[in-house]
Every structure is written in C-alpha cells, then in structure tokens.
Structure 1
C-alpha cells in the first residue's frame, strides 16, 4: 500500500529533522515535504495535497494559527499542532482545535523536558488516525469570540441561544439542589464538539455537567477558560472537594481521574485521584461514569462524543443497566474520530445517536422533561 503523505511545518531545522525521523519509522507514513513557516505550508498544502500536516504554532512570516485557518478554508486536511507545554501554548492550542485542528502533541524541546519516545508514539498514533479522516465535512466555522465574555455578555448570548431553541428553566432552586446530572466523555475532536454542545445549553440549566476530555495538565485549564467565554453555563476546571451546583460544567483536570460522591446531606462533591490510568487515560471517562452508578436517586444523562478508542463505552453500558435516563452517542457524520461513540453503540447501550449540533437540544428536552 502506498504510504500516506505528511507535510512537516516548523521554523526550527532541528525540529523538522526530528519529526521527519519520527515519521520515517512508520511504513504507513512518509514526509512528502517540509516548510519553515505558515506561508510555505499553505502553498505546499495547495500544491501537494498531503493527507496530514504537523504544524508548529510560533513561526515567522505566518504563524501556525493563521496557516491553519487558511488551510481549513481552502484545502481542509487533518492538522496536528505541535504545542509548547506552557499556559500560553495551551491557550493557543485550544484555539487551534476550535478552528479545525485534528489534534495536538506536546512539542519536544530536549531530553530534559519530554520523553521523546513517548512523543513519537503519540505523534504516530495520531497521524495514523488523521490520515484516514475526511476533514472537509468537519470544517464549518464556529462562532468564535476574540476574548472571554463578561457575565452580562454571556447572559445575552444565553438568551439568544434560548430564543433559537426555546426551553426555559427557573433559577429559583438552591444551586446545589438538583435531580438531574449530565456527564460527557470525549477525546480527539472534543474541544470543538464541547464548544458546539455547551454553547447550546442555557444559563439556568437545572443540572451540573461533568466533563472528561482526554488532555494533559494546563490544557484542561485553558479549555475551561475558553468554554466559559462562549457558554451560558459557568465552566470551571474541577478541584478536589468542589460541591456540585446547577448551571455549572466541571472539566476533569489533566492528570487526574474525576469522580462524584455524595456529600452527606449537602448534595454531591468532586473527588480527584492520581490512581493508575485506565486504558492509558487519566482522566478516564469510564472512571467518571462508574462513580455515578450508586447515585440512583439522580436522573443521569450520559453522553459520549468524538474520540479514539473505547473509553466510556463500558461505563455507559453499566449506567444504562443501572437506570440512566438518557444515553447519547455522537453520530459518525459529525465525529472527527468515530471510535468512542462507535464502541458504545456496539454495546447496545445508547438511547440516542445524534449529530453534534443536536446534542444540546436533546439534553434540554431530557432535563426539562419536555415531550418528544
């Protein structure tokens, strides 16, 4: 079989050589060309039409974010961002994922900062998934804001969302008093999918929303900040002992499993652990879902969206058998990678298979108990 063509983009000769050497070790892949800035990358994608691109962010003439936007608009192709592990690098990476990047890998910068073998393994795994993805169907622009919205602006945005799909909720109940709970698991393609879903949930949503997104530390914090700016919900990175409240989304921090437990007579609280990774993941979707099994007094609504592998499928199956009210899998047509949802569908535990843009509406219907 002919290997898939990959374009390597980085302003550092050392990094171009290193990444090229990584890719050359996989017989399914070959480096068709390299570029030292975003301008060259855009031209080479147009000319060579590679099946995937690795893209640095900080480059002269045209940076990686601007190059990504041009590529997604003109010649959509899976792009894997090479991101620094700084807070600034994390924020830029989240924006790149919103703008259509397939995924990202922490950028190696020497033996003292990262295990190069681990970076190579992750990069090749993601490239193998990327080269078979049709990005043209996933490139509809998101409605993006340039900076985090103030609370008043988020209220206006939430009102607009409710006008588009009217479901009204009363904020009269105490914040920690609720009978519904939503849990979402996702991986590759997740930040963009979460943007779509959370921007469609209104401000006074009468349930907490628990989210596991496979990401390392720093990146989950930046993801929470970004999603908080576009959602009517309050979106936070979860912390140990946080008491669950209505109208709040909690993102599991990178490097920690997130579980939920009863908090005496005061509702429910979050517990974070450094237990062994599950299926290679920490946080793990299955770990979160399994922690909800004893909470049968709550109406549980479970969602699995785009991602490689099968994390969350067995947990969803267990919850469905334990009486979860709603189990939603994102449909293949909108998944960047139809792995995790497919696994849940194959287990026969899914009540709804929905495109990404319909998941928020279904959750509003389920929590509001509106007739279908």
Structure 2
C-alpha cells in the first residue's frame, strides 16, 4: 500500500528536501506541497492525504492555526517540524494540543547523526501515522476529550489475546497494595498523559514516574505545562530529587531517570547513558522501569501508552518477574500501537485499557 503525504512549509528548499526524502520510500508518495497554512487546509480537503507534515511558523496562516482547522474539517494525522528551542517546544506542544499527533526536529542533524538514519526515521514516523489513518480515519486520538483545555520497530509482533476491560462496568480494585505508579509513552504520549494526569486528585497518595520520548527542551516545557493543568504536582526530574507522594517526575529528554534507595526513602538519579549498551532511547522506559522494579518490587503499577517501537517491553518483563501489575493502552485509542502491542504480545499486560478509562482504573486500583 502506498500512503499519500502533503508537505507544508514556507521554504521551497525544505519542502523539496522533505518530499525527496519521503519519495525515496516506495510506500510513500508526496501528492502535494503547500507554502502556508491556508493552502494546507485547501489541499488537505482536495487531496485527502494520509499524513501531513507541517511547519509551525508560516505567513498567511501559521501551522498551529492550520492544524486546528484541518482537524475540525478533514481530520488527518499531522507530523509537526519544530526547532529544539524553548519557543519551539511551546509551539509544538500547542500544535499537539490542537490535534497534531507527532513531531520531529526541523534540523535533520538533530534527528540522527547519520543522514540516512534521519531519513529512515522520518519515513518510519510518517508511515506509522499513515497506518493509524488507515486503521481509523474519522477518529484519530481524541476519543475522550481532555478534561481541561490545552495543551525501530516498524513490524509489529503477533499479538496474543489480551484482557480487554469492559468500559460499561465500573473499575474493580484488586485489593493489592502499591507504593508507586509508572507510565511510559512515545508517539501520541503528550496528549495521552494529559488525559490521564489531569484526572488525578491533589491528594493522590503515590509518587508517579513518567517516561515520555522527548528532547530535553521539550520535557522542560511539557512538565511546566502539565504542572499548570494538573491538580497533582508535575516536575521535570532532577538529580537528587527526594521522592514525594502526589508528585509526578518526568524523565528529562536526552538523559536517563533511575531511582536509588528504598521504597520508603528514595531519590532520583539522572545519568547520561553513554556507558550503557543496547539503549536506544533517551529517556528509556526499559531502563527506568527496571530501576523502579529494584526499589518497589511488586508494589508498582506500570502503564504503557501509545508509541512506536517496543521500548518498555523488557522493563515490563523485569517488573513482571517481581510481581508488579502491568497495563497497556488498547489498540483502538493508540496513535501508534507499538509499545503497548509489544508488551501485550509478550504476555506481560494483565489489562488492555482505552485511554479514556485509564485514569478511573488507576484511581480504583490505587485509591486515595
């Protein structure tokens, strides 16, 4: 199957560059190019692309405004290109809140060290979003509205039967004792995390550990935004942070978040993973989950949300061996059913939950 892509950018050079890279993949074809947001809206309606790549800053109409209009009229998966600056991070989060599903740095050297690797990653991300469009065209991510306003594995493993939770029945607690909550996510994760965390009360009595694949400037901005939206406290984790109940610690981009100490008294340890082998992501769900398992053992609830690849599977395997409870987001509400699918296919998840049901199940399982 060949997926259709619309490329939107005010730079003729960048449009041609992105188009050339995408057209190198036999599964992708660029069907149009737009130089501003207004053209993007018109061409999206006319060409019905499977994916749109979108710049933020453009004349006539900016990318964020275009995203809002497109999602209101002809919902289409949108990948944003942004700069790795503070302003770029804020604009990208605004675009995700408006309905964009993913983002990449506009400078390809910031995506990967090798040019071909960067091109391959771009192609993979576009195809992952295109498959989401093909799977569910009318409803992309916002199957459950956010309670507050704004905000390398390409082949999927064979899925073993998962326990799907009946959303018509109230959540039922297992009665198990917990000491902490951990959540891992990638593509589609920012909005998914917002959907969950804004529903947790201020008196939520457990610490929360968040691992979201993001660059460093983005995690700083995202933590600040979530802290403003949520009743619980949300902060970007810092080395030496003493773990407190009711606080969510977001792993900083470009680093790894570990924990040291005991379940009653532990601290955050932020490290550069230059000495670690077989670790692709910074931050890594696998690495953080494994570290949390050594501290909390089986007294941990871990949730794997939407995202490409299989990060989190091995961390969940380690947690499962210690008796921890693991849940995964279901396929229908994922932007990309990669990470949750990997966990489910490995037989590690005990429940498959729709995004809109995750928070209520957490509150039932971990009551305040």
TM-score by length of 1: 0.85
Q: CA deviation at 1:294?
A: 2.2
Any idea what SS the aligned residue of 2:58 has? coil
Q: CA deviation at 1:28?
A: 1.0
Any idea what SS the aligned residue of 1:260 has? strand
Whether the aligned pair in 1 keeps the contact of 2:307 and 2:335 (CA below 8 Å) is yes
**In the alignment, is residue 363 of structure 1 matched against residue 362 of structure 2?**
yes
**In the alignment, is residue 84 of structure 1 matched against residue 83 of structure 2?**
yes
Q: CA deviation at 1:317?
A: 2.2
**In the alignment, is residue 353 of structure 1 matched against residue 352 of structure 2?**
yes
Q: Cα gap change, 1:84/1:50 in structure 2, threshold over 3 Å: closer, same or farther? A: same
Structure 2 CA distance for aligned equivalents of residues 235 and 130 of structure 1 = 29
Q: CA offsets per residue over residues 103-141 of structure 1, 9 Å max, x none?
A: 111002889x98654542321110111111135223535
List alignment gaps of at least 5 residues for structure 2: 152-169, 172-176
Q: CA offsets per residue over residues 144-197 of structure 1, 9 Å max, x none?
A: 5469xxxxxxxxxxxxxxxxx99xxxxxxxxxxx96100110100000100101
User: Paired residue for 2:140?
Assistant: 138
User: Paired residue for 1:128?
Assistant: 127
User: Paired residue for 1:16?
Assistant: 15
User: Paired residue for 2:335?
Assistant: 336
Q: CA deviation at 1:98?
A: 2.3
Q: CA deviation at 1:17?
A: 1.4
Whether the aligned pair in 2 keeps the contact of 1:73 and 1:139 (CA below 8 Å) is no
Q: Cα gap change, 1:302/1:139 in structure 2, threshold over 3 Å: closer, same or farther? A: closer
**In the alignment, is residue 271 of structure 1 matched against residue 275 of structure 2?**
no
Whether the aligned pair in 2 keeps the contact of 1:179 and 1:297 (CA below 8 Å) is no
Structure 2 CA distance for aligned equivalents of residues 195 and 20 of structure 1 = 33
Q: CA deviation at 1:229?
A: 1.6
Structure 1 CA distance for aligned equivalents of residues 235 and 223 of structure 2 = 5
Q: Cα gap change, 1:121/1:109 in structure 2, threshold over 3 Å: closer, same or farther? A: closer
Structure 2 CA distance for aligned equivalents of residues 98 and 145 of structure 1 = 8
Q: CA deviation at 1:368?
A: 1.8
TM-score by length of 2: 0.86
User: Paired residue for 1:241?
Assistant: 240
User: Paired residue for 1:310?
Assistant: 310
Q: Cα gap change, 1:127/1:110 in structure 2, threshold over 3 Å: closer, same or farther? A: closer
Q: Cα gap change, 1:4/1:266 in structure 2, threshold over 3 Å: closer, same or farther? A: closer
Whether the aligned pair in 2 keeps the contact of 1:76 and 1:139 (CA below 8 Å) is no
Q: CA offsets per residue over residues 344-366 of structure 1, 9 Å max, x none?
A: 11121212211111111111112
Q: Select the structure with the greater relative contact order (CA < 8 A; seq sep ≥ 6).
A: 2
Query: What's the Cα RMSD here?
Result: 2.4
User: Paired residue for 2:156?
Assistant: none
Structure 1 CA distance for aligned equivalents of residues 46 and 26 of structure 2 = 23
Aligned pairs for 1:128-207 (under 5 A) are 128-134=127-133, 135-140=137-142, 141-145=145-149, 180-207=179-206
The 4+ residue runs of structure 1 with deviation greater than 6 A are none
